[in-house]
Amino acid sequence: MIAVLQKRKQSFRNQCLKYSRYVLNDHFVLFLLIFLGFLAVQYSQFLRALPEDRSFLLVLLVFAPLLLVPVGSIATYLEKPDMIFLLVKEEELKEYLRIQTLRATMFWGVLQTIFLLLFLPLALAMGLSALVVIFYLVFLFLLKALVFQWKGKRFYHQEGLNWTRMIEVENLRKQTILRFFALFTNVKGITNSVKRRAYLDGLTSLVPKVTSKTWNNLYLRSYLRNGDLFAMSLRLLGLSLAVFVFVPQSMVAVAIVALFNYLLVFQLLGLYNAFDYQYLTKLFPLETGTKTRGLLQTMQMLLLIVGGIEGVVGLFALEDKLLVLVLLAFTALLSHLYAPFKLRRLVDEML
């Protein structure tokens, strides 16, 4: 049993390594280095010019790290068929779960501590002693351990192991990782949930109900009712608006928002296969290329809406208003040049 689970672990790691090449490409690494350098400079300048009233910063330093405590999950690598085939190995599996819980506690606890150490210079600059900071980091680590012990106990119920819970948690963990890679490339193995969202039905009127717009209507409805894609698009838009508000450097803010719009294009391309399971769509009396054109027009409409919202917020939040035009021009290039190019390549790969 352990050998099977270890094999699954290695297989998933290899899959992640394969996709990481698309994430850590030359352009993204260069952007990341520049962005991290900018953050380091801003952090250094902030430490030299701390505000006189530091009560808000102190409260933030104390309570903000608590948000990191529940972050993380226990990797079990269990799958749905295991509910039957590994049932006889339940006692052996309990020891495996104990070890995995301990490993997850150490991994996420150390990761949390390393991240919080980045704020050590700020704590020292505010007059806190190193001993107090170390004590608080140890306290957070122990709190993390308690949370993971609680997560591990949820794998059990009175009758024994809670197989349904374990498999749901593992599936959610893997899907979260794969969705991150899906921001940069096409990823296999992602499962999408469907949510009705009746309150968004009014948005379907944006596309005329005519034969030539059949695919436009289908893709718009699929987007609005996609449990993951729609929510991820809103998160990217929310992050973009937050960047406008909280990043003081206008050029850097526009660069980050442009990156988010670029990632949004990748996400929307995933709609192309949304109806592959429905073979009746092949019987539609429509011209060849209508499907591709329908998705492209849907993407352009959504990017127009996103660009419009970002443009309005940018006019109020950015000091250099000219950069708003630069962002809108970049979004237009994504919509009318890059998106058609990527869509053609996607279609060619499937032929």
Please write the tens of the pLDDT for every residue from 147-178: 999 999 999 988 789 999 999 999 999 988 98
Among 126-130, 187-191, 243-247, name the one with the lowest average pLDDT.
187-191
The residue among 106 and 222 whose pLDDT is bigger is 106
Taking alpha carbons only, the member of 330, 179, 204 closest to residue 267 is: 179
For residue 63, how far is the Cα from the chain centroid? 24
Contact 166, 76 (CB under 8 A): yes
**pLDDT over 90 (residue 329):** yes
- How many CB atoms lie under 10 A from the CB of residue 243? 21
Which structure tokens are listed for 260? 């988010």
pLDDT at 28 over 80: no
Task: Find the mean pLDDT for residues 97-125.
Answer: 95
Interhelix angle for 339-350 vs 250-269, to 10°? 30
Do the Cβ atoms of 270 and 343 come closer than 8 Å? no
Q: Which residues pair with 194 in a beta bridge?
A: 226
Q: Is a pLDDT exceeding 80 seen at residue 45? A: yes
pLDDT bin (cut points 50, 70, 90) of residue 350 is low
**Cβ-contact 233, 267 below 8 angstroms:** yes
**What does the pLDDT read at residue 51?**
82
How do residues 185-207 score in pLDDT, each as one tens digit? 778 777 767 777 887 888 888 88
Given a cut of 60, whether residue 142 has pLDDT beyond it is yes
Closest listed residue to residue 299, CA positions, set 324, 325, 262 = 262
pLDDT at residue 70 in the model: 94
Residue 349's pLDDT band, with cuts at 50, 70 and 90, is: low
Q: Is the pLDDT of residue 335 over 80?
A: yes
Q: How far is CA 347 from the centre of its chain?
A: 25
Ordered alpha helix ranges (H), the chain: 2-23, 26-48, 55-63, 82-85, 90-117, 120-125, 130-153, 163-181, 214-225, 229-246, 250-269, 290-317, 322-333, 339-350
- 17-25 average pLDDT score: 86
In contact, 346 and 333? CB cutoff 8 Å: no
Is 327:258 a contact under the CB 8 Å cutoff? yes
Of the listed ranges 137-141, 244-248, 338-342, the one predicted with least confidence: 244-248
Mean pLDDT value of segment 69-82: 94
| pLDDT for the residue 27 | 74
Say what the pLDDT of residue 36 is.
Answer: 85
Q: What is the mean pLDDT of residues 65-77?
A: 94
Separation of CA 46 from chain center = 29
Range in 25-29, 104-108, 326-330, 341-345 with the lowest mean pLDDT = 25-29
Strand partners, 156: 161
| Residue 146 pLDDT | 97
pLDDT band at residue 309, thresholds of 50, 70 and 90? very high
Tell me the pLDDT of the chain averaged across its residues.
89
CA distance readout (Å), 103 to 138, 215, 272 = 17, 48, 39
Residue corresponding to tokens 């073979």: 279
pLDDT at 121: 92
Cα–Cα distance, 260 to 172 (Å, whole number): 24
pLDDT digits (tens, 9 = 90+) for 47-57: 888 888 888 88
Backbone angles phi, psi at 160, to 5 degrees: 140, -135
Residues 343 and 340: their CA atoms lie apart, in Å, by 5
Q: What is the pLDDT of residue 150?
A: 96
- 165 and 155 Cβ atoms separated by less than 8 Å: yes
3-state secondary structure at position 339: helix
Rg (CA), the chain: 24
How large is the average pLDDT for residues 257-261?
91
CA distance 75 to 169: 9
Q: What are phi and psi of 69, to 5 degrees?
A: -60, -45
Long-range contacts of 170-176 (CB under 8 A, 24+ apart): 170/75, 170/76, 170/77, 170/78, 170/79, 172/73, 173/73, 173/75, 174/12
Tell me the torsion sign for CA atoms 282, 284, 287, 290: negative
